[in-house]
Chains A and B, each alone.
Chain A
Amino acid sequence: MTQEAQNDKFCLSRRAFLLSGGTAAGIVAVTGIPGLVDAALQTATYPRRKIGQVSKLKVDVPLVVQYPGKDPNSMAYLVKLGKSAGGGVGPKGDIVAFSTLCSHMGGPLIGTYKGKHKVLGPCPFHLTTFDLSRHGLVVAGQATESLPQVRLEVKGDDIYATGVMGLIYGYHDNLAIQG
């Protein structure tokens, strides 16, 4: 089977689902914060990988981690915000992780974290800022998607990445390219 044909097969089942399900095309009403993260991941299978330790994190000092792939597009920031946040883990619910590629056109966001406002940005390319306490919502700017958030779990002192909400810049499928 050619690559294109394989994709056809995958697409058929997935799109059939999207067309028939009234709320499946991107909109699911959820109320709880953990639920928001969970709902996105019901149909995807992401690797579960240890990416850090709670005890090693300092407030407002982001660390570069790699998830879900090994390529440069999968570079993410793991950061302890110092106040609880959407999708946050750890004792204070303030540990979050996000893609470091701007979801507008892939601008590099490493080095742009602003502790005062808990935002990443402005992106050096077109100035988009993202609110890390609110699932990576755009504060101001041009990105057509929130900044993809890495789903986290904590076991003891260990932080595990278990999935990604949103399509990472450059990818057509977060799970298609892993190496």
Chain B
Amino acid sequence: MVRAASDYQIPEDRIPLPPSNAEVLTTACDYCIVGCGYKAYRWPVGREGGPKAGQNALKVDFPAPVNSGKWISPNMHNITMVNGKPHHVVVIPDGDSKVVNVQGTHSVRGGALAQKLFNPNKPTAQRLRQPMMRVRGTLQAVSWDTAFEVAAGISKHVLDKYGEHAWGMKSYSYQYFENTYAISKLAFGAVGTPAFAPHDKPGPGKDTPGIDFSGINPFSASYEDWGAAEVIFFSGVDPYETKSVLFTSWIMAGKTPNKKLIFALPRKTTGVAWGESKGGLFLPVIPGTDTVLHLAMIRLILENGWEDKEFISRMISNKWEIGSGMGRGTRNTPWQWVTTWGKYGTDFANYKKWVLGYKYAELDRAAKITGVPANLIRKGYFWGVTATSPAFISEEDYQDFINISCGAGTRPGQVISRGGGHQRGWMGGAGYPRGLSPEKMPGRRKKEIDLDRWTADGNLRFAWVIGTTWFQAMAGSQNLMDAVRGMTAQSPHQIDSFDAKAAIETLKRRADSGGMAVVNQDIYPVAPIGTEYADLVLPAATWGEEDFTRCNGERRLRLYSKIADPPGQAMPDWKIIAGFAKKMGFKDFDWKDSNEIFEEAARFGRKGVLNYHPLVVKAKKDGVRAHDLLRSYGTEGIQTPIRMVKGELVGTKRLHDETLELGPPEGPTMHPKWLTHFGTQVGKAVLLKSPWEDFQDFYERVTPKGDEVWVTNGRINEVWQSAFDDKRRPYIMQRWPYQFLEIHPDDAKKRGIESGDLVAVENDDLLVQTGGYLGVDGKDLTFTELEKAGKIEKSKGSFTAVAMVTEAIRPGVTFAYFNFPENPANSVVHRVVDPMTNRYRYKLGKGKLRKLGESPYKHSFTTMSFAPRDIM
């Protein structure tokens, strides 16, 4: 296992200042969806600027003023190689920014971006630098050519003999347009495989299907809207912990700093505590019961006739409008499964009738199921309907009506969006071949693959994993690892020669005996996929090592400049894909730089919300590279979809914007209906019923019994994703050296657990679905039917964590970080997908707690803090 940075950090007490003539490059944060703007100052080692404004590139007198965005903290400085020469690099939030991170505010994650850059004297020394092949069990360096030859050799065999279904790819979906374009062009276009899944889901498709099927783009709002809202209802998310600057710059500030915040969450975190201190509301919901909470609030609204009637009559689809197909095509689309298979879509009159007659929407019953006292539910809905500018931010599905009923969705400060995790960096170079997917909904409708089940059931012969931990990010992690270990590391067919042809023959024998060859492409060694299972490990270049582009949570497109050299022979992912594709004999993979891909890809995004095609057209007209034109927009960038008005590029602040005035579309500009209306054919939103019964069978089966507790999981502010960078940050490792588990004092006391104790979380009743690819009759793929058909197996999962006893969490519920790969919380989460959306119920793990003894942190003064996160 990769050991992270030291647990002890001696902080620096000075930083070198960039001299006045330091080079300045613009970029944006590599991490969360907020996408803060940053500037990198770089200059050769051996010089330093001075503390007077005229002596440094920040043009500020030191001490730097409070809240100026001009102070350089030690974690914002590093030394790295630029064109082979050592340089100082300072990566600092853009203190002049007027958008996103106004005045240079930033989070603990982005603020330490400089530490991401490769410095062999720091823990980034662990970066992968050369392609490696596992020969006789040991990963050893080989040439790029050998790596490509072996990967292509086994791929050809698998494709010829077993077909594209047996050639799988598991990849990030967000690490820049240039890379995802190349990845999807290869996987969906050249190879044509349906066996693909993004990093966060078992298969392709919508992240928040409920919002999407209603016709609401999950990133329709702009940050200004969050600033202008009067009431915000947060369901399943505290953005302070996950989208820090959205909270600190816009929700705590913006046009209406005194807005009221309502949170539905099982635990109280910093943002919730702040919201409460400003008169907000905390609805401490039992995990998994949010739907019932929303239904109860909707019912109260409808009972009182407090819905926004004018808005509903104007913006909600009637029966005929739903039937018109909503522009999504009537056949074989996810939208149709939802609206016809279960007859979810309905008009307002029928929706109202349904809710008012629906027993699970009754206040007292809802209070009992959700654990939220009736008086709190009542208060929550009351604020929503009395606000003139309500807004909604959600990580949940099927709660759209509560928002729409209050008139949110299409106006400044009255919006509905997802919180979101990572930035929007997917640019599909080819469409997902759903028709080839082995999975089918009841009826004739195909659905996307569940790659995990497909793999665990032994259907893959080759897997290529790019920039994700795969197993630890998916449910039933250890069960999945067991399956893959059996097909790889435990196969008798292990490469024993550096001769590429011999290596390919070995891997063919493995594939032919039911095993699987694995390529892992990443920036660090990833356990276990890279360190234990992969036959080839390929080193990737990342943020700051190549010019890249992508959008943030308000669709703001920026150029992320190359700042420093990548380590060793590491190459950007697109280049690795291209190298492999050429060995395969695939055409049109010969780009000379990332700008060429950016320009090529523009055509493929023209119809989508990330459309930047007009920028490329303008760049061509002006005779400049599209990357360079975007570079001229600096950290502010431009919000997509980009339009052309009087020959100039114009960004789009919000989608579904009733206030947006559009002339006739000019040049390459597209004017899809969703610019000014909801994303349906008639431009009106579709109401979807959310019957609790659809989920109840599974929910009741996984509800903790006896001395089990809920083991839910999520993000914490100080850590990003799998902690791949944080592990190399002594400062963060001092704070979070290990997985943790928040436990309520009542639950802790019963088990003799104190803060700092090491506990094992064990789920011996872990449910794992096998088979069940084809639904025939209506209810075939529901949990009840799968169980009856013998498709649900029992397995086990466990992880260890350091206990943090706190009243901030509900009794009966515990909380862990969602992806510390060494202690995967998803191990105790059931690997059974929701039949409608193909998504795991990630937050509904359970287990028993076993105290193992004291952790080294229990009595430490240097590492880990046990103070709660809700101190206000």
Contact = CB atoms under 8 A, between A and B. Distances in A.
Q: Identify the interface centre among A27, A40, A175: most chain B CB within 10 Å of its CB.
A: A27
Interface residues of B, number: 78
B50 A4 contact: yes
A104 B76 CA distance: 11
Interface string A4-35: 10111011100100110110111111100100
Contacts of A44: 13
A106 B103 CA distance: 13
Contact of A172 (B47, B62, B863): B62
B861 A133 contact: yes
Interface in B723-780: 730-731, 734-735
Nearest to A41: B13
A162 interface: no
- Tell me whether chain A's interface is mostly helix, strand or loop, or mixed: loop
A167 interface: yes
A127 B864 CA distance: 19
Interface in B252-284: 252, 269-271, 274
Interface stretch (B105-113, B294-302, B546-554, B700-708): B105-113
A138 B9 contact: no
A157 to B, nearest CB: 24
Interface in B1-25: 5-6, 8-17, 19-20
Nearest to A163: B13
Contact of A103 (B55, B68, B73, B79): B73
Given A73-B63, A106-B67, A11 B47 contact: yes
B682 to A, nearest CB: 43
A118 interface: yes
Contacts of A12: 46
B376 interface: no
A47 B242 CA distance: 41
A169 B88 CA distance: 20
B718 to A, nearest CB: 7
A79 interface: no
A7 B17 contact: yes
A139 interface: yes
Given A26-B122, A137-B734, A129 B871 contact: yes
Contacts of B122: 25-27
Nearest to B93: A105
B649 interface: no
B307 to A, nearest CB: 35
A117 interface: yes
Interface string A136-179: 01111111111010000000000000001111011111111100
Contacts of A105: 66-69, 71, 104-105
Given A118-B867, A140-B270, A4 B55 contact: yes
A172 B66 CA distance: 13
Main secondary structure of the interface of B (DSSP, over half): loop
Contacts of A133: 861
Contact of A127 (B9, B14, B248): B248
A146 B717 contact: no
A83 B48 CA distance: 43
B624 interface: no
A33 B862 contact: yes
Contacts of A50: none
Contacts of A143: 73, 108, 111
A7 B241 CA distance: 39
A19 B12 contact: no
B62 A141 contact: no
Nearest to B108: A142
B19 A170 contact: no
A144 B108 contact: yes
Interface string B446-459: 00000000000000
A140 to B, nearest CB: 4
A55 interface: no
B121 interface: yes
Contacts of A125: 67, 248
B74 A145 contact: yes
A169 B15 CA distance: 12
Contact of A165 (B10, B49, B252, B868): B10
Contacts of A169: 63, 66, 71
A121 to B, nearest CB: 7
Contact of A107 (B5, B66, B864): B66
B630 to A, nearest CB: 28
A40 B74 CA distance: 14
A173 B867 CA distance: 30
B13 A173 contact: yes
B72 A172 contact: yes
Interface in B39-98: 45-52, 55, 62-69, 71-76, 79, 86, 88
B270 A141 contact: yes
A22 B74 CA distance: 18
Interface string A64-97: 0000000101000000000011110000000000
A62 interface: no
A26 to B, nearest CB: 6
B509 interface: no
Contact of A139 (B17, B65, B73, B871): B871
Contacts of A146: 9, 11, 731, 734
A83 to B, nearest CB: 11
B871 A18 contact: no
A26 B79 CA distance: 12
A174 B121 CA distance: 24
B48 A4 contact: yes
A167 B865 contact: no
A177 to B, nearest CB: 6
A39 B872 CA distance: 34
B244 interface: yes
A27 B717 contact: no
Contacts of B106: 142, 144
A12 B269 CA distance: 45
B869 interface: yes
A18 B86 CA distance: 12
B126 to A, nearest CB: 13
Contacts of A165: 10-11, 13
A19 B86 CA distance: 9
Contact of A126 (B46, B55, B105, B867): B105
Contact of A8 (B46, B67, B860, B872): B46
Contacts of B390: none
Nearest to A103: B73
A24 to B, nearest CB: 7
A106 B74 CA distance: 14
B434 to A, nearest CB: 42
Contact of A28 (B8, B51, B716): B8
B121 A3 contact: no
Contact of A19 (B5, B121, B123, B274): B121
A154 B79 CA distance: 38
Contacts of B104: 105
Nearest to A44: B13
B862 A27 contact: no
B720 interface: no
Given A29-B6, A138-B108, 15 more contacts: A6-B50, A15-B45, A25-B79, A26-B12, A114-B871, A122-B274, A125-B248, A127-B270, A129-B867, A138-B865, A139-B867, A141-B108, A167-B11, A169-B66, A177-B51
The 6 closest A-B pairs by CB, nearest first: A86-B861, A170-B63, A144-B111, A166-B11, A106-B66, A173-B14
Interface of B: 5-6, 8-17, 19-20, 45-52, 55, 62-69, 71-76, 79, 86, 88, 104-108, 111-112, 119, 121-123, 240-241, 244, 248, 252, 269-271, 274, 716-718, 730-731, 734-735, 860-865, 867-869, 871-872
Interface of A: 2-4, 6-8, 10-12, 15, 18-19, 21-22, 24-30, 33, 36, 39-40, 44, 71, 73, 84-87, 101, 103-108, 114, 117-119, 121-122, 125-127, 129, 131, 133-135, 137-146, 148, 164-167, 169-177
